[in-house]
Structure 1
């Protein structure tokens, strides 16, 4: 099923890389995602295509190719300074994802998540087509170590929550041209919100009714998101609302490699970032958006925002308008 011989063409911000041989495909894979080791037992002849679009910090791709194996090795990981999650939705053919001593067999309609900062392998024994969503870990409101419980776990799109979310993702990858400007950013973040819902649902199923610890953390995170605008939001208020001591609260977050204040700040910054990219708030002052999400000091907000995202709030807003 070879594609016509063309190279890296773009239209409406969608980039298409069509490989004329295995060497070109191997290069395209690493350039499209993170550096990867790609091998094939049948490299000649070989066909492959990658269609990609970026919306905000979310990279959405459709990969179609012949048999090959992808490996993220410790050596390649050591060269990276940014950490991503990748979500694969199998569209046709089958795949095998291996990470964290788990194996997920992916049939059409199945989803699986994996972490680019830990070794993984993807094995495709025949022609296939898959959707890949790659995004920085901070874009979803679940701690990385919680998501780690789901790496290389098959999540079905044929029933339950998956049957609602998978069709949306499939429509998204089928319409990459729509991932443009502020509208594209909202679509991409909506997709991640849905994926987060699916992860939370899977974790609920996996934990069963006896895991009160995990259930408490989910309630606390939901409470924080619901009260981000409150300037009183802090350990004392959160602990009191959940009938636990502040010491216990700090211990819960410490177990997940973060602090209460860091988690609140990250969630507030992300809400501000979304609003700054939203044309509906284009006339609203930056300080007003910051205050809406609990930042009372505009100068402090600007410093923290630039430190986190490497650009000021006004620079982000200007880039969103230019998109």
Structure 2
């Protein structure tokens, strides 16, 4: 069920302090300022889902600052992505400014200072999720903070519209559907960011498209224990050597990427209440491992503990 916050019904003198507390509670610890503090209006509708939160927020003009002291006092390790719905917002991080008009979107990190400038009353859709989930799809995405994905870009327009559509229905689905919809939303976000010029910094545009196709194919076939670099290359219509060369430009291999994504899915399911009745071996088999001894070994290498210890003691990556 969505959680709703509004300054309506709050005494005028208390509205802006109330809004500041709401924003810090829903998103991350930060500072807010507004020249309209004495007559401020704002509202927010929040859906907290497994591994991701989605919120629709509107307010009068304000400035939001994520400061070094805020970062030092919190342990948030997430990305936030804003899809502009009304008027204009400026996202500032890493000495870059993304000027967002309706239909544009940009991403920013909770672990580095940022600023949001809202010179007029605005409305925005905000997605918030663990960094690791996007880094697994787009390893260079931390270099893309505060870079606008424009509605004028064909891919950007498609992704932006799809994210808005997903936000309208995702809260009305059951938990199992939400679990898989999250992956679809993150794949869309990765696709939109990858459309930015020089977003992979070493891959040419044709190679970017091949990489996206290959990763999408891998994500869709992780449960197939026969998934291999040969299988992926064949599906892409190219040689293993050629595809391996493209993956090497991102500092990985096809096999390593498959293994990483399988382990990421398993780790996520081990912490998901939806699967608490399933054994570790059942979850591992579902994601394509058929040798439990090998699975336990590579899981320990990646996560520093056994699958059993991880399930019992690991802190979830995202508190919902």
TM range (shorter): 0.7 to 0.9
Q: For residues 104 and 116 of structure 2, what CA distance do their matches in structure 1 show?
A: 14
Q: For residues 263 and 78 of structure 1, what CA distance do their matches in structure 2 show?
A: 32
Task: Compute the displacement of 1:37 (Å).
Answer: 1.0
CA 1:269–1:310 in structure 2 vs 1: closer, same or farther (change >3 Å)?
Answer: farther
Where does residue 139 of structure 1 map in the other structure? Answer: 133
CA 1:56–1:153 in structure 2 vs 1: closer, same or farther (change >3 Å)?
Answer: same
Preserved contact between residue 156 and residue 195 of structure 2 (Cα < 8 Å): no
* Structure 2 stretches lacking a partner, 5+ long: 234-238
Q: For residues 109 and 311 of structure 2, what CA distance do their matches in structure 1 show?
A: 21
Q: For residues 197 and 172 of structure 1, what CA distance do their matches in structure 2 show?
A: 15
* Structure 1 stretches lacking a partner, 5+ long: 1-11, 317-322
* TM-score where L is the length of structure 1: 0.72
CA 1:307–1:59 in structure 2 vs 1: closer, same or farther (change >3 Å)?
Answer: farther
Task: Compute the displacement of 1:243 (Å).
Answer: 6.5
Alignment deviations for residues 66-90 of structure 1 (CA, whole Å, 9 cap, x no partner)? 1111111111112233411111000
Task: Compute the displacement of 1:93 (Å).
Answer: 1.6
Where does residue 18 of structure 1 map in the other structure? Answer: 6
RMSD (Å), alpha carbons: 4.1
Where does residue 31 of structure 2 map in the other structure? Answer: 37
CA 1:278–1:233 in structure 2 vs 1: closer, same or farther (change >3 Å)?
Answer: farther
Which is further off, 165-174 or 265-274? 265-274
Preserved contact between residue 220 and residue 242 of structure 1 (Cα < 8 Å): no
CA 1:184–1:245 in structure 2 vs 1: closer, same or farther (change >3 Å)?
Answer: closer
Does structure 1 residue 193 correspond to structure 2 residue 187?
yes
Q: Secondary structure at the match of 1:161?
A: helix
Q: Secondary structure at the match of 2:251?
A: helix
Alignment deviations for residues 25-63 of structure 1 (CA, whole Å, 9 cap, x no partner)? 000000001111111122011111111111111011111
The correspondence of residues 149-298 of structure 1 with structure 2, limited to 5 A, is 149-175=143-169, 177-178=171-172, 180-203=174-197, 207=201, 241-242=240-241, 253=251, 265-272=259-266, 286-295=280-289, 296-297=291-292
Q: Secondary structure at the match of 2:36?
A: coil
* TM-score where L is the length of structure 2: 0.73
Q: For residues 112 and 170 of structure 1, what CA distance do their matches in structure 2 show?
A: 14
Length, aligned pairs only = 291
Preserved contact between residue 253 and residue 260 of structure 1 (Cα < 8 Å): no
Alignment deviations for residues 66-122 of structure 1 (CA, whole Å, 9 cap, x no partner)? 111111111111223341111100011210000111101111111101111111100
Task: Compute the displacement of 1:23 (Å).
Answer: 0.3
Which is further off, 42-51 or 265-274? 265-274
CA 1:211–1:107 in structure 2 vs 1: closer, same or farther (change >3 Å)?
Answer: closer
